[in-house]
Structure 1
């Protein structure tokens, strides 16, 4: 009789475990998940040039990976050297770029691919091999079969020039105090500014802090024309990253804002409160009502780039650090954030930035 009871107990245990695996959808690691087909690249041989670094250089695309439960799949693209994808440290030194949830392709500009290639150690002006694979993640990660491409990086020119952006966002057009755009590569300039809701969105670009030579709009709002009386126009109120290419006589604006995030501000951990850029001090600022809770900083309302303090007793904040400042009491605070972000696309974001949090 005891024998039969033991068998029934064993059978019941197995049935319970099977039922648990079916009822708890998060346990997918017991089931096989894989890429249904190979990833694809737009080119397997790429010669990068600095004067076309803003152009798309590589498109990586992949098939949808289906996990056993209905939830978003987060994809990332990894680059590595052919010598680093085998053995106990395989892919440990790879460059990993998070693409997002349920996104099935990622485009890389020449500047982005050049930084990846040179960071991994490829020599400039020499063709070298990079291996690419795609990561799909839910409760666990699976990887595509790798694909190899040949890339010839360029040596970035060291430049130190500036141009200036006088406009109505200042209140009065004053080229002496206008926002500065730094030269990030030969003939290409980049800077940051904030347009308040009560200011007109018009401006020009000047070669010096005077009106001896300036650019206005040409055939379109995004064409530069020497000494044109027509003003450029921003899309509307907000903060922007401005880029000007004097080689192609084109300019662009991209929404760009650092913000405070955490339980001390209105959006909690889900939504940042955007800061405004003071172009004269090159500092991001906000005056806000805060409550007791945590506070740190992130870019463009996303966790892709964020800073937290390794030591909350200091004003130094660290890239991708999980720490946060503690706001001890509710009130109106002035918060500032300062970072060296002259060329994050090519140089990456710095390991540290600085901030101040002062109760008014």
Structure 2
């Protein structure tokens, strides 16, 4: 009798094992049919998020949701997906995956997502769809999606706008034109140093940030009579010519409709200071068109220098922080670390970020 009972139990175990084995492939199907999607509580549809450029580390929004449920206890991976509103998530962006049921974004973080990932236009409101993709396991097993929430996002940018200078100095090719930079986004006070050789114009960027003919461009309001008024105009304009012939110019232009003016000042740069032997007489540098820099190799003592133009103190640069970045006129004298022969490079090629280097030979 005992042997018969053992055989009976073994037979039941075998049948049970085979049944489980046959049903393994259906386990996730059963789980899927018994799962429920996450529910987003915050933000709600219609929320407007105007990102604060003055408070980059402040909280822009906090997403809070109720987790999806499955018919077994398990860790749930929650992926926040964003898409341009109205695209039905045809091209979703997986922004972040977390096992939490909340996530806070700072203004800086959400701005990076809005501009860098979604391609939204700074300072312009745009609708964005959001949902939560919930899954378990390593391969997005049993993914379920929350109801969609639509919010409006107004991002910002700290990048200053640019103005190009196509002309004879570079073959009238807008795409390769040197740039002037404004002081901040939304400003129209452009400046920069440019080598000019003959006539030229100013040109704005298009929506893609490129210079191309067909963009808005400006010339001198004098038209084509050969005189120069330093006043800008879009229609019926004449080309501009540098006032002192070919050379290296500090160029300023303001395209605000109430201003519309420009100026071009020729500069020839030199080194001066106690490290050169004199604060009265400077040593001229040479412009290198290949690198768009001014250079000189000379002996210096372990004292101080500055850079000045046109043999006067009207326009000179020093270095307040000792970090290789130049400050105009009020800049602190630059210390030479030790006596020796130096290669000195003065670099004005990036508008509003002017630098120098001292390299001991």
Say whether the fold is shared (TM-score over 0.5): no
Q: TM-score, normalised on structure 1?
A: 0.40
Between Structure 1 and Structure 2, whose CA radius of gyration is higher?
Answer: 2
